[in-house]
Amino acid sequence: NTTPRIVVLGAGYAGMMTTKKLMKYLSPEEAEIVLVNKHNYHYQTTWLHEVAAGTINQNQVRIMIRDIISPNRVRLIYDTVEEIVTDEKIVKLENSEIPYDYLVISLGFETNTFGIKGMDEHAFFIESFDQCQLIREHIEYQFANYKNHPEADESSLTILVGGGGFTGIEFIGELVERIPNLCRKYDIERKKAKIINVEAAPSILPSFDPDLVQYAKKSLQDRGAEIMEGTRIQECTEEGFIVGDNNELIKAGTIVWTGGVTGNSVLGKSGFELTKGKVTVNGDLRAPGYENVFILGDCAWVMNKEDNRPYPPTAQAAMQHAITCAKNIRALLHNGTLEEFTFHDKGTVASLGVTDGMGTVFNGKKLYGKTAAAMKKVVDDRYLFLLGGPHLLLKKGKIRPF
Ligand code: FAD
Ligand code: NAD
C-alpha cells in the first residue's frame, strides 16, 4: 500500500478540525487518515469549568467522535499516545504503535504547577473531562459530609481556587451560582460556604481590559466570592494554600489550581526542543527541522510577527491552526506551496455564570452582562455548528430554540 498515511494525535479543537478538513480536501486514494485519541469521545475543553462546578449536564459537553467523523473514511484509534519516535516515523501508543508519513500533534495542554510544593499531590486541576467530573463530585461530597457530621470543620465547605486567569475566573463564575443551590439542597447556611480566588498579580486577569476586569470582579464579589489579589501561593498542603510573605494558611475542603498551562508532556518525551513546555513552530506550523510534522493548538507557540510574542493558547486559535495545517498537508501531497498561518482575532469573551459575562469582540467593542453571556453562548454554538452542522447544534447547543 503506497497511499500516504496522515496520523492526527488528539481529538480536541485542533485535531477534530484538522481531520474534518483533511476529509474534505483529500480523497481516500490520496491519503489514509488516522485519528488517535485517549477516549472515544471529544469534549469541549472550553466548557470544563462548567463540568467541574456541576452547572452543566456532562453529556452536553462530550460528543462521540464517530458521530462527527466517519469511521469509513478515517481510521479511529482510541488509545493513549506515549511517545513519538521521529527517526522511525512511528507513534508509540499504550497498546500498539502506528507508523506515519505525515503527523499532526494536537494533544492539548497540561496544567503547569511551576514546581509549587504540594500542588500536584493536593490540588485538583481543570484539565480533562474526567478530572472535572471528580471535582464536581468532590464538592458535593463535602456538603453531604458536613451535613452528616455536625462536628466537622466549616472550612471543609470552602472552595479555594488558585490563579485568577480566565479559567479560574470562569470557574468562580459558575461556583457563585452552584454553591447557593448546594446550600439549599443540604440545608446549609450560605455564609458557611466560602468561595475564594487567590491571584499573585496585583489584579485578576492580568493585562486584560481594566474596565472589564473591574466588572468581572464586582460581579463575582456581589455574588459572594472573595478575591485575594497580589497574593502569591507559596505551597499547597492537604489543608489548603499557604500564601503571601507571612505564609498564611487558607484552609479549604476543595482545592483547585488554575495557575497556568503548558504543552502536553509527550512533546518533551519525544525529544522536541521546548520553550516553556511547547514547541515554537515555523510560520507554516511545522516543527523546526521536520518536513512532515505539524504541531498545533496548545502544544505550539505560534509567533505573532508584529510584536514577536506568541499568540495566547486558545480554542479560537487552535481551530484556525487546523485549517492552515490541513491546507499545508494537501500542498505537500500535491507538491504545492505551503501557506503561512495568520491569526484572525475575533475577540475574547468570558462567562461569569449562566447569565453574566464580559469581553471584547473583533472590533474592540466591550460587552457586559447578559449581552456578553449571550455572545459566549453564540461562540460556543458556532463551534458545534462548524464541527457537526445543524444536527450537532440542535443536540448539544447552549441556545435552545424550544
Ligand atoms: P484540547 O482541545 O485540549 O484537546 C486535546 C485532546 O488530546 C483531548 O481530547 C485529550 O483527551 C487528547 N489527549 C491528550 N493527551 C493525550 C494522549 N497522551 N493520548 C491521546 N490523546 C490525548 N479558549 C477560547 O478560545 N475560548 C474560551 O472561551 C476558552 N475557555 C476555556 C475554558 C477552560 C476551562 C479552559 C481550561 C480553557 C479554555 N480555553 C478557551 C482554551 C482552550 O480550551 C484551549 O486553547 C484549546 O482546548 C486547545 O485546543 P487543543 O486542540 O490544542 O487541545
Ligand atoms: P493563565 O496563565 O492565563 O492564568 C493563570 C493565573 O494564575 C495568572 O493570572 C497568574 O498570575 C496566576 N498565578 C500563577 N502562579 C500563581 C501563584 N503562585 N499564586 C497565585 N496566582 C498565580 O491560565 P488559564 O487561566 O488556565 O488560561 C490558559 C489559557 O486558556 C489562556 O490563554 C486563556 O486565555 C485561555 N482561556 C480563555 C478563556 C476565554 O477566552 N474565555 C477561558 C479560559 C482560558
In a domain, 74, yes or no: no
Does residue 51 belong to any structural domain of this protein? Answer: no
Catalytic residue among 127, 170, 174, 177: 170
The pLDDT of residue 1 is 67
Quick one: which ligand is closest to 127's CA?
1
CA distance linking residue 300 with residue 287, whole number of Å:
9
The answer to whether residue 303 is domain-embedded is yes
Residue 378 lies in a domain: yes
**pLDDT value of residue 402:** 57
As a whole number, the mean pLDDT across the chain is 96
Helix/strand/coil (H/E/C) assignment for every residue in 201-218: CCCCCCCCCHHHHHHHHH
Judged by its nearest atom, the ligand closest to the C-alpha of residue 98 is 1
CA 339 vs CA 254, 286, 311, 336, 344: distances in Å? 47, 11, 18, 10, 15
- Residues in contact with ligand 1 by the CB-under-6-Å rule are 10-15, 36-39, 42, 45-46, 48-49, 80-81, 106-109, 126, 167, 170, 264, 266, 297-298, 313-316, 318
Q: Same structural domain for residues 29 and 163?
A: no
- Tell which residue, 6, 125, 121, 129, has the closest CA to residue 61: 129
Dihedral sign of CA atoms 181, 182, 184, 190 in order: negative
CB 36 within 8 A of CB 8: yes
The answer to whether residue 47 is domain-embedded is: no
Whether 287 and 399 share a structural domain: no
Whether pTM exceeds 0.80:
yes
Burial of 255 (C-beta count, 10 Å sphere; 0-12/13-18/19+): buried
What total of structural domains would you count in the chain?
A: 2
pLDDT at 273: 97
Say what the pLDDT of residue 234 is. 98
Could you tell me where the DSSP H helices lie in 270-341? 315-333
Active site annotation includes 170:
yes
- Which stretches of the chain drop beneath a pLDDT of 50? none
Classify residue 387: in a domain, yes or no: yes
Residue 338, CA distances (Å) to 16, 30, 58, 298 in order: 21, 18, 40, 22
Distance, in Å, from the CA atom of 174 to the CA atom of 49, rounded to the nearest integer, reads 7
Residues 218 and 99 both lie in one domain: no
Per-residue pLDDT tens over the stretch 336-395: 999 999 999 999 999 999 999 999 998 889 999 999 999 999 999 999 999 999 999 999
Which residues, in sequence order, are bridge partners of residue 43?
Answer: 62
End of a domain among 326, 344, 362? 344
Does residue 167 form part of some domain? yes
Residue-wise pLDDT tens digits, 341-354: 999 999 999 999 99
Residues 6+ apart with CB under 8 A from 222: none
User: Residue 332: which CATH number?
Assistant: 3.50.50.100
Residue 295 shares a structural domain with residue 185:
no
Which residues span the domain enclosing 287?
5-38+79-111+261-344
ipTM, interface predicted TM-score of the complex: 0.99
Query: Do 246 and 199 share a structural domain?
Result: yes
170 and 252 together in one domain: yes
Cross-strand partners of 5:
32
As for ligand 2, residues whose beta carbon falls within 6 Å of it are 116, 162-168, 170, 198-201, 206, 232-233, 258-261, 312-314, 348, 350
Q: How far apart are CA 175 and CA 178, in angstroms?
A: 5
* Residue (of 179, 353, 339) closest to 253 by Cα position: 179
